[in-house]
Structure 1
C-alpha cells in the first residue's frame, strides 16, 4: 500500500540526513493488525458459539461461517479504520505542495496538489476502502448463513443472496457498505489534489455507518440510545485507530513535519478516548446490569474491552510524555513514537476483535422488559398526550444531535475565549444567535417534541420546521467560520491549519455549486416534496436510522439555504440583497403550497406504522395530518417572512451605502457628474443631436470628412 521507492523521494531523504534510519514498508504491519483483530474475534466467537446458537435457536452454520464471519468483520473494521485514518492524514496531518500564493490567497488549498507523502496516504486509504468493499460483498452471504444456520456453500448461491437482499436487514446494510466503500476507493485512486481529500474522508466515515445502525443496539428497548451511542463509539474508534496507523506509516517512510502531524493527531485521540469511554459506558449500561459483568460471557467481554481501552489510553499518555517532546526537538526522530504506536495499535486490534465477538454473543436478558410495540419500534414508550406546555417537561436526551449541539456551543465559547485573550472585538449579537441556535437544537430533539416526533405526524412536522427553518437561521447568524478565522492565526507558509481549512470551507467548488441560488433553492424545496410526496416518508419514519438521517438532512439543508440568504460568513460569491430577495420571493409560493397540499391530502401518510403504535390516547390520524399541514403552512412562512424583512433591511442599507458613496465622490469632484448630467438634459431640451455634439466636443473643429471617419 505504500512503496519504499516512492517514499524515498520525499524531500530526497538519505540515511545521512535521517541518522541512518531506513525507510521501511508498512504493509506487513497492516497484515499483522488485521490478523490480530480477526483471530481474536474468531476465537472468542467460536468459544461462545453454543450459547449464541441456543439463544438464537438456529443450527450450526459450519466452521466457515463460525470462524469466517467474525474474522472478516474484524478485518473489515481494521481496513475501514486504515482508510479513514489515511484520508485524515492526507487532509490534516500531511501538508500539500506549495502553490506559491500561500500568503496572499486564504483558500489556496483549492489549487494545491498532494505531496508525495500525501499521495501515498491517499492511495493507502483508497486501497483499504476497496478491500473493505470486497469484504462487505462477501459478508452478504456470510450473514445469510449465520442467521439461517445453512452452510456458507448454500448461502452463497444466487437465490439465497437475493433473499438476503430482500429480507435480511443486516445483509442490506452490508450492501450499502460495499457501495460506499467501492465508490470511495475508486475515487481515491484518482485523487491528486488536496481539495478532494476532505470529501474522501467524509465518505470513508459514511461507509461504516450502515453497520453501526444494525446489531444488538439497533433492536429492542432503548435502541435509540443504543444506536446513537454505538455510532459515536465506532466513528471515534475509526479515527483513533486509523489515524494512528496512518502516522505509523508516515513515520516509517520518514515523512516531513512529523511533529505537527503527531500534535494534531494527539488532539483527535484525546477527544476520541473521552468520547469512546462515555459512549461505551452508555451502551454497556443498556445491555448488562452491574451484576452481569462477571457472571455472563457478554459481561466479561464488556470488561475485557473496557480494560483494553484503558490500556490504549495509557499508551496515548505515554506519547504525550515521551514521544511528543522528543519529536519537538527532532521531528525526524520518530523511533520512540513508532514503537509505542505499533504496540498501541496491536492492543486496539485485539479490542476490535473483542468488540466483534460481542456482536455474536447474546447479552443477558434484562430484569424488566418493555415489549410494547412502541418500545420495540421507537425504543421507548409514551405515556402522556403532548400539549403546548408538557412537551417542555418531558425529556429524553438525544445522544446524537443533542450531543452535537452541546459540542458546537462549547467550541464556540472556546473561540470567544481565544478572541478575548487576543483583545479582539466580536459582535455579541452573533454570540446570542449561536447560543440560541444550539439551545433550540438540543431542546427540539431532546424534549417532548423530539420524543413524540416518531409517534405523531403533527409533532414530526413541528420538529421538521424547527430543524430546517428555525435552528439554521439562528446558527448561520452566529457566523462560525468568521469566528474561526478571527480566533485562529494563519499557519506558516506551506503548513496550513484551522484558519486555512475554514477559508476553504467558505470558498471551494462544491460550496460554490451548492450555494448557487438555483441549486440552493431547489435542494431546499425538493427535500419537502420528495419526502412527503413519495413512499420515502413511510420507509424513513418506521426506522430509527430513518429519523436520524431525516434530522441531519433537515439541519444541513436549512443551514445551506440560509447561509446563502442571510449568513454573514464569507461565501464563494456575495450576491446583492435584491438578487437574494428575488430568489426568496420565487421560493415562497412553493413553501406555502406544500402546507396547503398536506392539508388537502386524502391519504394518511405512514398509516400502518402510526396505527400499530397503539398510543395510550386516542389519535385521529386524518385530523393529526391536517394539523401537521397547517403547522407546515404557518411555521414555514413565518421564518421566510423574517428572512424577507432581514434582506429588505439589508437592501435599504445597501442603497444608503451607495448613496453616501456617490455623495462623497460628488463632493470630491465638485459635482462634476451632476453638472454634466444637467448639461446633457439641457441639450436634449434644445433638440440637439447628442451624438454629434459629443463628437464635435471631442474632436474640435475638424473637417466634416475627418469627423465622419472618426465616427466610423
Structure 2
C-alpha cells in the first residue's frame, strides 16, 4: 500500500487534519514581508527627518563635530527599523503562542471539560460534608477517602487532558509561519543592533562611521559607550531567540520565545534619557512598561495583518483576543508615556521646546491610534466574518501611523530634553534617582513614601486579578475561602509597602536595608502568595476552552506543570536554586555590579520574588506542584538548609571588608554611615530573619506529615474493615511461622527456585 502524502499549503507546511478550511480560503494568500519592510522604512525615515531638524542643536550642546550623513541620518533610520523588527518578533510569537491554536485533537477539549466538571463535583460534595472516594486507588480493595488536598492533587493541572495535549502539541500551519517570521525578525534585529554599535561610537565621538566601524574601535565602543553595550546585549538576545525559535516546532516553546523577544527591548529601556539624572528610577521603570505595551500593541496588530493576508484560520478568535490586549496596551502606554514625559518637562515646556513639541506630536498620534482602535471595535470587528478586507486595510493604515509614531519616539531619544529649572542634582540623584536626607529609623521608614512604578504597579495588578477571580468564582455559584484571599492580598500589600515606603527607598543606599528588603521579598511575600492559591483560583474562574481554542485556563496549567517546573520543584533542585539565588548573589564582584546599576536592582528584586515563590510553592503551596513530595522528604531538605542560612548571616557579621564599597562610599549620604557597621547589622538581619520564616514553614510541614499519616491510617482502617483485616492476619501468620523456626523468606526463595523452568524442564 502506498503512503498517503499529507495535505500541504502553499507555504509547504502540513495542514492540520483536525482543522476546518480557512475562512476565505478561496482568495489568494499573500506574503507580508514587503509590508514589514515598508513599516520599518516609515519609522526610520520619520526618525531621520526629525533628527535632522535637531542636529545642529544637539551637536552644539555636545560640543562634537558632525560625524557625517551616514551617522546622522543612518543611525535614526536603522534604530527605527530595529524597533519595528522587534515589534514584528513580539507580535509573531504572540500570535503563535496565544492567538492561534496549535494542533490538538478536538476530542481533548470535551475530555478537559469533563475533567473540570468532575473536579467541581467532588469539591462540592466535600463542602457538603459527603464522602469523596478516589476510585483510582482501589486496586481491588476499597477506595481511599479524599480530603481537600487529595482532591487538589487528583485534579491537578497536569492531569487535565488539554494541558497534557498542549505540552506535546506541535504548531499548526499558521503558528509555524508566525514562529518562523518571529525568528527571522529577531535575527534581523540582531544584525541591525550590531550595525548600531559603531554608529553610536561615531555619534558620540564625532568620527565618521568609516572610522568608527574599524575592528580596533569596537573595543572603544564597548568600553566607553553605554548605548553600544546595550545594543550588543540586544544582538545576543536576538541570536539566541531567533536560532532557538527556528529549531523548535512545539507550541510549549513559543511563550519562551515571546519572552525572549520582549527582552530585546530591555537593554534599550535601561539607557538613554530615562536612565540618567534625577528621578531615573521613575524614568526607567515607566519606560520599561511603555516598551512592553508598545510591543504588544504594534506587534500584535502587525501579526494580525500578516495572518489575514495569508488567509489564516481562526481570525475571529485572534482578533477578539488581541482587542483585549490592545485596549490594555493603549491605556498602559498612555499612562507610562505621560509619567515619563512629566519627569523631564514642565507644563510650559510642552509647546515651547523642541523636545516638548515632539512629545505633543507623539501624544496626538497615540490619541489618533486610540480612535482607530475604537473604529475597529465598532465597525470592522463586527464585519470581520463578512468583510475581512476592511479590517486589514484599516489596520495597515493604523500600523503605518504606529510606525511613524515609533519614528518620533526614536527622534526623541536623539533630541536633548530641556535643562531642569533647578539644577540641584548630586551623586544620590545620579546613582539612586532621588535624595535621602536622614538616617533610617524604626519610625521614619513608615513615613517616607515614593511609589515604585515597577513593583507597586505589579502589586496593584495582581490584587485586581485576584479579586476579579474571586468575583468570577462566586458568580458561578462557588465559594472561595476568605483566608486564601487574605493571604494573597496580604502578600501584595507587603510588596507594595516594602517597595514604596522608606524600606524601598533605603534599599539601594544601605546594605542593612537591602537585606531587610531581600528577606521580605524572598521569604515574606512569596509565603503569602503561595498560601493564596492564585493559579487554582484563576483556573476555577476561567471557563474551559471551546473546541479548537485552548485558552488561559489551559495556558496556566502548562505554566505550572511542564518539564522545566517538574525539574525545578524536585526537592534537591529547589533547595539548591533557593540557596544559590539567596547567597550566590553576595559574591563581592557579582553584588558590586548588581547594586551599582538600576538594572541590577530590578533584576535582584525579581529574582528574590521568583526564587522564593518557587521554593515555598513546592514546600507549602496551595496550588498543586508538578510532583508530590512526601512531607518527610521536605523536612529533610528544609533541615539541611537551616544551618546554611545561619552560616550566611554569621559570615556577613564577621566580614571585615565592605561589599560594594566603591558604590556605597560614593553616594555621599548626609549622615555619613559606618559602612562596616551597617554590613554587620545586615548580617544580623539575614541571620535572624532567615531562621524565623523557615521555622514557621517547618511547623507547617510537620502538620502536613501528621495530616498525611491520618489520611493513610483512615485508608488502612477502611481496607481492614472491607477485608476482615487480611493484612494483619497474614502478618500474624508470618510471625507464628517464624516462632516455629520457619524462615518465610527462605521458604519463598526455595519455592521460587523449585518452580523455575530450569528445574522443571517439562514445563519449559
Equivalent of residue 86 in structure 2, options 69, 75, 80: 80
8 A contact 1:83–1:126 mirrored in 2: yes
From the superposition, tell whether residues 17 and 309 of structure 1 become closer, same or farther in structure 2 (CA, over 3 Å): closer
Equivalent of residue 700 in structure 2, options 646, 656, 662: 646
| Structure 2 residue aligned with 1:96 | 102
Q: Counterparts of 1:68 and 1:335 in 2: how far apart (Å)?
A: 35
Q: Counterparts of 1:14 and 1:204 in 2: how far apart (Å)?
A: 31
8 A contact 1:46–1:66 mirrored in 2: yes
Q: Counterparts of 1:87 and 1:501 in 2: how far apart (Å)?
A: 15
8 A contact 2:16–2:103 mirrored in 1: no
Q: Counterparts of 2:757 and 2:34 in 1: how far apart (Å)?
A: 86
8 A contact 2:186–2:261 mirrored in 1: yes
From the superposition, tell whether residues 339 and 583 of structure 1 become closer, same or farther in structure 2 (CA, over 3 Å): same
- Does the alignment pair 1:427 with 2:481? yes
| Structure 2 residue aligned with 1:106 | 162
| Structure 2 residue aligned with 1:153 | 210
Which structure 2 residues correspond to residues 177-576 of structure 1 after superposition, within 5 A?
Answer: 177-327=234-384, 330=385, 333-576=387-630
8 A contact 1:4–1:23 mirrored in 2: no
TM superposition shift of 1:561? 1.0
Q: Deviations over 1:535-591 (max 9, x none)?
A: 111111111111111111111111111111111212221111111111111122222
From the superposition, tell whether residues 94 and 615 of structure 1 become closer, same or farther in structure 2 (CA, over 3 Å): same
From the superposition, tell whether residues 386 and 184 of structure 1 become closer, same or farther in structure 2 (CA, over 3 Å): same
Using the size of structure 2 for normalisation, the TM-score is: 0.89
Q: Counterparts of 1:661 and 1:538 in 2: how far apart (Å)?
A: 56
Q: Counterparts of 2:68 and 2:372 in 1: how far apart (Å)?
A: 39
- Does the alignment pair 1:636 with 2:690? yes
TM superposition shift of 1:5? 2.1
TM superposition shift of 1:19? 7.6
Q: Counterparts of 1:554 and 1:704 in 2: how far apart (Å)?
A: 61
Q: Secondary structure at the match of 2:47?
A: helix
8 A contact 1:8–1:253 mirrored in 2: no
Q: How large is the Cα RMSD of the aligned pairs?
A: 2.4
8 A contact 2:22–2:314 mirrored in 1: no
Q: Secondary structure at the match of 2:584?
A: helix
Q: Counterparts of 2:251 and 2:352 in 1: how far apart (Å)?
A: 51
TM superposition shift of 1:673? 1.7
From the superposition, tell whether residues 18 and 291 of structure 1 become closer, same or farther in structure 2 (CA, over 3 Å): same
TM superposition shift of 1:368? 1.7
Runs of 5+ in structure 2 lacking a partner? 1-7, 113-160
8 A contact 2:440–2:506 mirrored in 1: yes
Q: Counterparts of 1:568 and 1:518 in 2: how far apart (Å)?
A: 20
Q: Counterparts of 1:291 and 1:405 in 2: how far apart (Å)?
A: 34
Q: Counterparts of 1:263 and 1:610 in 2: how far apart (Å)?
A: 51
- Does the alignment pair 1:55 with 2:61? yes
Q: Counterparts of 1:233 and 1:216 in 2: how far apart (Å)?
A: 14
Runs of 5+ in structure 1 lacking a partner? none
Q: Which shifted more, 572-581 or 409-418?
A: 572-581
8 A contact 2:97–2:254 mirrored in 1: yes
- Does the alignment pair 1:617 with 2:707? no
TM superposition shift of 1:157? 1.2
Q: Secondary structure at the match of 2:624?
A: coil
Which structure 2 residues correspond to residues 672-683 of structure 1 after superposition, within 5 A?
Answer: 672-683=726-737
Q: Deviations over 1:440-491 (max 9, x none)?
A: 1111111100000111000000001111111111111111111121111210
The structure showing larger relative contact order (alpha-carbon pairs under 8 Å, at least 6 residues apart) is 2
Using the size of structure 1 for normalisation, the TM-score is: 0.95
From the superposition, tell whether residues 4 and 390 of structure 1 become closer, same or farther in structure 2 (CA, over 3 Å): same
Q: Counterparts of 2:229 and 2:253 in 1: how far apart (Å)?
A: 28
TM superposition shift of 1:106? 3.5
Q: Deviations over 1:237-274 (max 9, x none)?
A: 01110010000011111111111100110111111011
TM superposition shift of 1:517? 2.0
8 A contact 1:61–1:149 mirrored in 2: yes
TM superposition shift of 1:669? 1.4
8 A contact 1:391–1:447 mirrored in 2: yes
From the superposition, tell whether residues 30 and 681 of structure 1 become closer, same or farther in structure 2 (CA, over 3 Å): same
8 A contact 1:221–1:370 mirrored in 2: no
8 A contact 2:187–2:238 mirrored in 1: yes
8 A contact 2:16–2:172 mirrored in 1: no
| Structure 2 residue aligned with 1:605 | 659
Q: Counterparts of 1:397 and 1:616 in 2: how far apart (Å)?
A: 23
Q: Counterparts of 2:10 and 2:166 in 1: how far apart (Å)?
A: 27
Q: Counterparts of 1:19 and 1:155 in 2: how far apart (Å)?
A: 51
8 A contact 2:21–2:313 mirrored in 1: no
| Structure 1 residue aligned with 2:32 | 26
TM superposition shift of 1:124? 0.3
TM superposition shift of 1:9? 7.0
Q: Which shifted more, 648-657 or 4-13?
A: 4-13
Q: Deviations over 1:347-403 (max 9, x none)?
A: 100000000000010011111222111111110001121111211111011100110
8 A contact 2:9–2:15 mirrored in 1: no
Q: Secondary structure at the match of 1:582?
A: helix
